[in-house]
Structure 1
């Protein structure tokens, strides 16, 4: 007599449990469709627009972050270096080259979950276009490591995988259809503590 209600409850529990888990996993696995890949860098220009896909809208709602609109800028994220190796907090890197045209840009480090890595107050944990030293041709070289380096340097002292986030503010890149022709900074590993 109680067999049927118990089976129905068990079926519903399994369906809602697996359904909820798979939806949460899907939202963590992607920020939506329409990603632009330029070397190790990727961006989602449609993420904050009305034409965003349902996965991007759900990700945006669940994330709780304020994102840049298409006319405001574009956020590129790199989780690997130029050779396709995952970025690690145990390694040192050089980010060099130029960025696409923008009024202002920032480069910061996040952990694997997207939370910004903040260095102690006496060390730089990010760098921007206003305080970056450049060569005469406009190119720059930013070193990312635990130990202080001369010139442009960001401290990286974070266990596990990390990501680099390059935010371009007030850039024509966001509305450009020629994104595949953009020059993005190169990310090269210089050494690793565990190598």
Structure 2
């Protein structure tokens, strides 16, 4: 007598639970579609626009992120070095070169969930275009390491994998016409362990 209602209730729980879990896993797995990859850096130029796919909109809403307008900026992330190895807190890296044309940019290290890493309140955990030391030709080098380095240094904690987040503000690269021919900084590993 209770067999049919029990089977119906069990079926509904499985259906709703499976639907909710699959939607959450999709939101956690992807920022959306339409990414561009430039020299190991990935960006989603359409994620901030009205043309963004539903997964990108839901991902941003779930994360509670403030979105840049199409002409305001573009955020690039890098999770691997120039050899294709994952960035890890036990190694040191040199990020060198130039950024695409932009009025200003910021750089910080983040965990896999996109939250900024904090090595210590007294250490430089972010860099920007206004305070960076540059070479004569306008290029720059930033050492990303857990130990202090001379010059431009971005401190990271001794942690597992991380990603670098480079945000270009007021850049023509955010427009669809500016995406061709982008030149991004190169990230190379310069040592691991106690270097």
TM-score range, shorter chain: over 0.9
The secondary structure found in structure 2 opposite 1:13 is: helix
CA deviation after TM superposition for structure 1 residue 176, in Å: 3.7
Q: Does 1:126 align with 2:119?
A: no
**1:174-194, Cα deviation, whole Å (9 max, x unpaired):** 014352411100011111229
Q: Is the 8 A contact 1:38 1:180 kept in 2?
A: no
* Contact 1:117–1:158 (8 Å) recurs in 2: no
Instruction: Report the counterpart of residue 153 of structure 1 in structure 2.
Output: 153
* Alignment partner, residue 10 of structure 2: 10
- 2:103 pairs with 1:103: yes
Distance 1:18 1:194, change over 3 A: farther
* Unmatched 5+ stretches in structure 2: none
Moved over 4 A (4+): none
Structure 2: how far apart are the matches of 1:40 and 1:160?
19
Residue 93, structure 1, aligned to residue 93, structure 2: yes
RMSD: 1.4
What secondary structure sits across from 1:166 in the alignment?
Answer: strand
Secondary structure at 1:177 match in 2: helix
Secondary structure (helix, strand or coil) at the match of 1:187 reads strand
Aligned match of 1:73: 73
The equivalent of 1:177 in structure 2 is: 177
Normalised TM-score (structure 1): 0.96
**Gapped regions of structure 1 (runs ≥ 5):** none
CA distance in 2, matches of 1:158, 1:61: 31
Structure 2 equivalent of residue 143 of structure 1: 143
With the length of structure 2 as denominator, give the TM-score of the two structures: 0.96
